[in-house]
Amino acid sequence: MTPLIETKALCKKFALDGGGSIFALDGAEIAVFDKEFLCLLGPSGCGKSTWLRIAAGLEKATYGETLFKGVPIEGPSKERGMVFQEYSLLPWRTVAENVALGPEFNGVSKKERRALALHFLTRVGLERFADAKPHELSGGMRQRAMIAVALGCNPKVLIADEPTTALDVTVQAQILRLLLELRDRRGLSIIMITHDLGVVAQT
Ligand code: ADP
Ligand code: MG
Protein backbone atom coordinates (compact mmCIF):
# COMPACT_ATOMS: atom_id res chain seq x y z
CA MET A 1 0.00 0.00 0.00
CA THR A 2 1.34 3.45 -0.91
CA PRO A 3 1.60 5.66 2.19
CA LEU A 4 -0.32 8.91 2.18
CA ILE A 5 2.80 10.80 3.27
CA GLU A 6 6.27 9.31 3.24
CA THR A 7 9.69 10.75 3.91
CA LYS A 8 12.80 8.90 2.87
CA ALA A 9 16.30 9.70 4.16
CA LEU A 10 15.05 13.18 4.96
CA CYS A 11 17.70 15.67 6.05
CA LYS A 12 17.33 19.32 6.96
CA LYS A 13 20.38 21.42 7.55
CA PHE A 14 20.08 24.90 9.04
CA ALA A 15 22.83 27.50 8.76
CA LEU A 16 23.43 29.13 12.13
CA ASP A 17 23.76 32.91 12.48
CA GLY A 18 27.04 32.55 14.35
CA GLY A 19 28.50 30.37 11.55
CA GLY A 20 28.38 26.62 11.06
CA SER A 21 25.23 24.56 10.64
CA ILE A 22 23.13 21.90 12.33
CA PHE A 23 21.08 18.99 11.08
CA ALA A 24 17.54 19.34 12.46
CA LEU A 25 16.72 16.06 10.69
CA ASP A 26 19.25 13.44 9.71
CA GLY A 27 17.72 10.63 7.67
CA ALA A 28 14.10 10.71 8.88
CA GLU A 29 12.09 7.76 7.53
CA ILE A 30 8.41 8.18 8.40
CA ALA A 31 5.34 6.81 6.63
CA VAL A 32 1.75 7.77 7.35
CA PHE A 33 -1.04 5.64 5.95
CA ASP A 34 -4.66 6.35 5.10
CA LYS A 35 -6.88 6.82 8.20
CA GLU A 36 -3.85 6.54 10.48
CA PHE A 37 -3.48 8.62 13.64
CA LEU A 38 0.25 9.19 13.97
CA CYS A 39 1.67 10.83 17.08
CA LEU A 40 5.19 12.24 16.79
CA LEU A 41 6.77 12.23 20.19
CA GLY A 42 10.23 13.38 21.15
CA PRO A 43 12.26 15.82 23.21
CA SER A 44 12.20 19.51 22.43
CA GLY A 45 14.53 20.39 19.54
CA CYS A 46 14.65 16.89 18.01
CA GLY A 47 13.15 18.09 14.71
CA LYS A 48 9.42 17.33 15.02
CA SER A 49 8.15 20.72 13.81
CA THR A 50 10.74 20.75 11.04
CA TRP A 51 9.51 17.36 9.80
CA LEU A 52 5.90 18.56 9.98
CA ARG A 53 6.58 21.75 8.01
CA ILE A 54 8.35 19.75 5.30
CA ALA A 55 5.49 17.19 5.19
CA ALA A 56 3.01 20.07 4.87
CA GLY A 57 5.07 21.50 2.01
CA LEU A 58 5.82 24.72 3.88
CA GLU A 59 9.55 24.12 3.90
CA LYS A 60 12.04 22.31 1.64
CA ALA A 61 14.30 19.50 2.79
CA THR A 62 18.06 19.73 2.23
CA TYR A 63 18.27 16.10 1.10
CA GLY A 64 15.89 13.19 0.80
CA GLU A 65 12.40 12.65 -0.50
CA THR A 66 8.96 13.73 0.72
CA LEU A 67 6.07 12.07 -1.08
CA PHE A 68 2.30 12.51 -0.98
CA LYS A 69 0.54 9.44 -2.43
CA GLY A 70 3.86 8.58 -4.05
CA VAL A 71 4.31 12.00 -5.70
CA PRO A 72 7.01 14.49 -4.55
CA ILE A 73 5.61 17.34 -2.43
CA GLU A 74 6.43 20.69 -4.06
CA GLY A 75 4.48 23.05 -1.80
CA PRO A 76 1.40 23.40 0.39
CA SER A 77 -1.79 21.67 -0.72
CA LYS A 78 -5.45 21.81 0.23
CA GLU A 79 -5.23 18.07 0.83
CA ARG A 80 -2.87 18.63 3.76
CA GLY A 81 -4.53 20.86 6.34
CA MET A 82 -2.32 22.44 8.97
CA VAL A 83 -3.71 23.11 12.42
CA PHE A 84 -1.60 26.05 13.50
CA GLN A 85 -1.39 27.39 17.00
CA GLU A 86 -4.48 29.09 18.38
CA TYR A 87 -3.35 32.65 17.69
CA SER A 88 -3.27 32.23 13.95
CA LEU A 89 -7.00 33.04 13.64
CA LEU A 90 -7.48 36.39 11.91
CA PRO A 91 -8.60 38.67 14.78
CA TRP A 92 -10.66 41.07 12.62
CA ARG A 93 -12.79 38.29 11.16
CA THR A 94 -15.56 36.42 12.96
CA VAL A 95 -15.04 32.74 13.73
CA ALA A 96 -17.29 31.76 10.78
CA GLU A 97 -15.42 34.15 8.46
CA ASN A 98 -12.14 32.52 9.51
CA VAL A 99 -13.52 29.07 8.72
CA ALA A 100 -14.83 30.39 5.39
CA LEU A 101 -11.28 31.36 4.31
CA GLY A 102 -10.50 28.04 2.58
CA PRO A 103 -13.79 27.99 0.61
CA GLU A 104 -13.25 31.70 -0.21
CA PHE A 105 -9.86 30.92 -1.76
CA ASN A 106 -11.62 28.16 -3.72
CA GLY A 107 -14.06 30.69 -5.21
CA VAL A 108 -17.11 29.41 -3.32
CA SER A 109 -20.02 31.94 -3.18
CA LYS A 110 -20.60 33.96 -0.01
CA LYS A 111 -23.86 32.18 0.88
CA GLU A 112 -22.40 28.75 0.29
CA ARG A 113 -19.25 29.43 2.31
CA ARG A 114 -21.33 30.67 5.26
CA ALA A 115 -23.21 27.34 5.12
CA LEU A 116 -19.92 25.43 4.93
CA ALA A 117 -18.46 27.41 7.83
CA LEU A 118 -21.52 26.63 9.99
CA HIS A 119 -21.27 22.98 9.03
CA PHE A 120 -17.64 22.72 10.14
CA LEU A 121 -18.26 24.79 13.27
CA THR A 122 -21.03 22.35 14.19
CA ARG A 123 -18.54 19.49 13.73
CA VAL A 124 -16.31 21.04 16.38
CA GLY A 125 -19.19 22.10 18.63
CA LEU A 126 -18.84 25.85 18.05
CA GLU A 127 -21.92 26.69 15.99
CA ARG A 128 -23.19 29.11 18.65
CA PHE A 129 -19.96 31.12 18.36
CA ALA A 130 -20.01 31.54 14.59
CA ASP A 131 -20.40 35.31 14.82
CA ALA A 132 -18.01 35.82 17.74
CA LYS A 133 -14.53 37.26 17.26
CA PRO A 134 -11.57 34.99 18.13
CA HIS A 135 -10.69 36.99 21.27
CA GLU A 136 -14.14 36.13 22.68
CA LEU A 137 -13.29 32.40 22.70
CA SER A 138 -11.42 30.41 25.34
CA GLY A 139 -8.08 28.75 24.46
CA GLY A 140 -9.75 25.36 23.86
CA MET A 141 -12.46 26.93 21.72
CA ARG A 142 -9.87 28.76 19.62
CA GLN A 143 -8.05 25.46 19.12
CA ARG A 144 -11.30 23.82 17.99
CA ALA A 145 -11.95 26.79 15.69
CA MET A 146 -8.50 26.22 14.14
CA ILE A 147 -9.46 22.62 13.43
CA ALA A 148 -12.65 23.90 11.75
CA VAL A 149 -10.52 26.30 9.65
CA ALA A 150 -8.35 23.37 8.52
CA LEU A 151 -11.45 21.24 7.78
CA GLY A 152 -12.82 24.11 5.68
CA CYS A 153 -10.12 23.33 3.13
CA ASN A 154 -11.44 19.74 2.86
CA PRO A 155 -8.10 18.04 3.59
CA LYS A 156 -7.21 14.37 3.36
CA VAL A 157 -4.79 14.66 6.24
CA LEU A 158 -4.71 16.99 9.24
CA ILE A 159 -1.27 18.02 10.38
CA ALA A 160 -1.21 19.47 13.89
CA ASP A 161 1.77 20.81 15.82
CA GLU A 162 1.10 20.37 19.55
CA PRO A 163 -2.62 21.24 19.30
CA THR A 164 -3.29 20.26 22.91
CA THR A 165 -0.30 21.87 24.57
CA ALA A 166 -1.25 24.69 26.97
CA LEU A 167 -4.82 23.43 27.27
CA ASP A 168 -6.27 21.97 30.46
CA VAL A 169 -6.83 18.21 30.59
CA THR A 170 -10.60 18.40 30.00
CA VAL A 171 -10.16 20.47 26.84
CA GLN A 172 -7.23 18.25 25.74
CA ALA A 173 -9.53 15.22 25.98
CA GLN A 174 -12.22 17.10 24.02
CA ILE A 175 -9.81 17.94 21.19
CA LEU A 176 -8.52 14.37 21.09
CA ARG A 177 -12.06 12.96 20.95
CA LEU A 178 -12.80 15.32 18.08
CA LEU A 179 -9.68 14.25 16.14
CA LEU A 180 -10.43 10.55 16.68
CA GLU A 181 -14.02 11.07 15.55
CA LEU A 182 -12.81 12.87 12.41
CA ARG A 183 -10.59 9.92 11.62
CA ASP A 184 -13.29 7.32 12.30
CA ARG A 185 -16.26 9.10 10.68
CA ARG A 186 -14.60 11.16 7.96
CA GLY A 187 -11.66 8.90 7.21
CA LEU A 188 -9.12 11.65 7.87
CA SER A 189 -5.50 10.78 8.55
CA ILE A 190 -4.01 12.71 11.44
CA ILE A 191 -0.42 13.58 12.23
CA MET A 192 0.00 15.18 15.60
CA ILE A 193 3.03 16.35 17.47
CA THR A 194 2.83 16.04 21.21
CA HIS A 195 5.26 15.63 24.06
CA ASP A 196 2.60 14.21 26.35
CA LEU A 197 2.54 10.41 26.76
CA GLY A 198 -0.91 10.67 28.34
CA VAL A 199 -2.21 12.12 25.07
CA VAL A 200 -0.63 9.30 23.06
CA ALA A 201 -2.27 6.70 25.33
CA GLN A 202 -5.70 8.13 24.47
CA THR A 203 -5.27 7.89 20.68
P1 ADP B 1 11.00 20.34 17.82
O2 ADP B 1 9.75 20.75 17.12
O3 ADP B 1 11.21 18.86 17.90
O4 ADP B 1 11.12 20.96 19.18
P5 ADP B 1 12.36 21.85 15.71
O6 ADP B 1 12.00 21.09 14.49
O7 ADP B 1 11.61 23.11 15.98
O8 ADP B 1 12.26 20.87 16.98
O9 ADP B 1 13.91 22.20 15.69
C10 ADP B 1 14.90 21.19 15.49
C11 ADP B 1 16.29 21.83 15.53
O12 ADP B 1 16.44 22.69 14.42
C13 ADP B 1 16.53 22.67 16.77
O14 ADP B 1 17.87 22.50 17.14
C15 ADP B 1 16.28 24.08 16.28
O16 ADP B 1 17.05 25.00 17.03
C17 ADP B 1 16.73 24.01 14.84
N18 ADP B 1 15.97 24.94 13.98
C19 ADP B 1 14.65 24.88 13.70
N20 ADP B 1 14.30 25.86 12.85
C21 ADP B 1 15.45 26.57 12.58
C22 ADP B 1 15.76 27.70 11.76
N23 ADP B 1 14.83 28.30 11.04
N24 ADP B 1 17.04 28.12 11.75
C25 ADP B 1 18.01 27.50 12.45
N26 ADP B 1 17.78 26.43 13.24
C27 ADP B 1 16.53 25.96 13.31
MG1 MG C 1 8.15 22.05 17.73
Q: Which ligand is nearest to the CA of 47?
A: 1
pTM: 0.88
Distance CA 53, CA 42 (A): 16
Give start and end residues of each alpha helix (H) in the chain.
Answer: 48-56, 95-99, 101-105, 110-123, 139-152, 169-186, 197-202
Distance 193 CA to ligand 2 centre (A): 8
Distance CA 175, CA 4 (A): 23
Distance CA 18, CA 47 (A): 20
Distance 154 CA to ligand 1 centre (A): 29
pLDDT one digit per residue (tens) for the chain, 203 residues: 899 999 999 999 999 998 999 999 999 999 999 999 999 998 889 999 999 999 999 999 999 999 999 999 999 998 999 887 656 899 999 999 999 998 998 889 999 999 999 999 998 889 999 999 999 998 888 988 998 998 888 899 999 998 887 777 887 888 888 889 889 988 899 999 987 777 777 77
Q: Which ligand is nearest to the CA of 51?
A: 1
Q: Which residues contact 51 (CB under 8 A, 6 or more apart)?
A: 7, 10, 25, 28, 30, 40
Distance CA 198, CA 98 (A): 31
